[in-house]
Amino acid sequence: MLKAYKYRIYPNSEQRIQIAKTFGCCRFVYNQTLAYRKEIYEKEKKSVSKTDCNNYCNRELKKDYEWLKEIDKFALTNAIYNMDAAYQKFFKEHAGYPKFKSKHDNHKSYTTNFTNGNIAVDFETGKIKLPKLKAVKARLHREYSGQIKSATVSQVSSEKYYVSILVETEHKELAHTNHNIGIDLGIKDLCITSDGKVYENLKIIKKYEKQLVKLQRQLSHKGKRSKNYYKTKKKIVLWSSFFVTLVAKKIVLINLCCRPCFIWGSITIITVWTNMIIINVCKFFYLLIECFLCCKLIQICAFILQGIEITLHRCIVVRISCFAHALCHIYRFAEFGKCFGRIL
């Protein structure tokens, strides 16, 4: 199976310049090939394949714009393939027509492929080898075993850099036990387990929520895409990331909207002792409805439904692997944090 391991990297000034160039060139090639494909279809009514777009980039764009040769070729090829995937979705999945990329996007990334050992992770020295960047300092908080397939370098709005290493590895199931446990999520207490253990509700958010509201109010009065707009937006992102760092150390994990999402520490402790959890049926189906209303998360509902074992009176038994897997997928979408706040 393919599994991704995401690490934070700390590039130096030269590496940051090279990463910024790669972001810009990938965006440029994406827009140019999309415009080329659109122009050919309007004039000649012909469909252009991703191979033709790649040849157009290598034979024409790189001749007219020599600075494209400074960038990793796999990053440009993957940008063309991403454009082709978006173009195919327009016809097959009834998605909208692909839009041209803007340099004002908050999330920037590019993907490069593994070949001849150009990507390597050294856990002893704490560095990752990447094409055109050489060795980059990284925080390698967990190890893996398997063959590297690709690496995706990204930069978030808080100006932090990350790399996601895609590895082909074997799936290892958790050990099955006969010990089951129930969880009741409350308001006064964060949760209470069936064995009587109580987790305190820290309510850290209220202490800093006023400052975040003040910054968001200031942002609403700024002109969009102005310098002051981006300055205030950066403050909000940094303040939100401060929330995540602070609260994650105290069991509760929150998203960028600063709302409680997921009892990560509690679930982690419980998975050591059991492979089943029991939650209130009303809150369970409320979560399911919230996920279903978000069209992108219909597949995640299936993960939870696959984990249902037994239906009891006002409670439901779910395999911990399916439930935790679904919650991890939902957490990736920051805008869906509200449903967890209601459940808690």
Q: How many CB atoms neighbour CB 135 within 10 A?
A: 14
What's the whole-number mean pLDDT along residues 105-125?
A: 92
Q: What are the DSSP calls for 255-278, one per residue?
A: -TT--EEE-HHHHHHHHHH-SEEE
* pLDDT tens by residue, 76-89: 999 999 999 998 88
When pLDDT is cut at 50, 70 and 90, the band that residue 213 belongs to is: confident
| Cα separation values, 18 from 25, 63, 224, Å | 10, 20, 28
* pLDDT of 94 higher than 70: yes
Where is pLDDT greater, at 95 or 141? 141
Helix axis angle for 320-331 and 298-306, nearest 10°, is: 160
Q: How buried is residue 138: exposed, middle or buried, by Cβ count under 10 Å (0-12/13-18/19+)?
A: buried
What is the rounded CA–CA span in Å between residue 2 and residue 47?
Answer: 32
Answer whether 36's CB lies under 8 Å from 53's CB.
yes
The single-letter code of the amino acid at 195 is: D
The whole-number pLDDT of residue 314 equals 38
* pLDDT tens by residue, 275-305: 444 444 444 444 544 444 443 344 444 444 4
* Torsional sign, CA 10, 242, 187, 344: negative
**Residues pairing with 76 in the sheet:** none
